[in-house]
Amino acid sequence: MSKPPFFPAFQLKTPPGEDRPRQVCDTCGFINYVNPKIVVGSVVAVDGGVLMCRRAIEPRKGFWTLPAGFMEEGETVEAAALREALEEAQAKLTLQGVLAIYSVPHISQVQIMFRATLAEPGFAPGPESLETAVFALDALPEKEFAFPSVAWALKDYRRFLAGEPGPFSNPA
């Protein structure tokens, strides 16, 4: 059975002027650029500790993370960070600045982490979280972190609290 004429067929090839293979439409020559995904999140300071969420979804269901997630089309990074905190922790935040920008090329992600505080008192698990909690920096559930970037962000947050200005980037 052949494909209808309106259904493009793509081949992986290196277009003229490009330095790597791309998905190119056989019919019209359209180049389908596949770019990294942007993840945004926040280290939220609460009563001397940080707000964390236990994931209710895969990947890494049941593990602890910071309120974070994928940016949506049409959002600023700031709006995405605020939305993710509301979705995951029912928390309204005040962003205080960029803490770090991490490049994670093996999964095609750029992760932007903010420093934040609660704009209003209160937080609770959202639909993507089993529970929310505030952990002191010396009592973090490190063996239960969902992703390496959670550890990176919390280490960089400690560096910020110690007087290093940031923003920080991938660990050396």
The 3 state secondary structure assigned to 62-122 is CCEECCEEECCCCCCHHHHHHHHHHHHHCCCEEEEEEEEEEEEHHHCEEEEEEEEEECCCC
Q: Residue range 70-79: average pLDDT?
A: 97
Which has more confidence, 143 or 17?
143
Q: Residue range 22-49: average pLDDT?
A: 94
Percent of the chain with pLDDT over 90: 89
Residue type, 135: F
Tell me, what's the pLDDT at 5?
A: 58
Distance CA 119, CA 54 (A): 21
pLDDT at 16 over 60: yes
Q: Give the pLDDT confidence of 110-137 residue by residue, as tens digits.
A: 999 999 999 999 999 999 999 999 999 9
The mean of the pLDDT values for the chain is 95
Retrieve residue 54's tokens.
């236990």
C-alpha angle 132/137/141, rounded to 5°?
A: 55
Tell me, what's the pLDDT at 152?
A: 98
Distance CA 135, CA 50 (A): 5
Reported as a pLDDT band with limits 50, 70 and 90, residue 8 is confident
Q: Is 21 buried (19+), middle (13-18) or exposed (0-12) by CB count in 10 A?
A: exposed
Q: Residue range 141-160: average pLDDT?
A: 98
Q: Residue range 97-102: average pLDDT?
A: 98
Tell me, what's the pLDDT at 95?
A: 98
Tell me, what's the pLDDT at 143?
A: 98
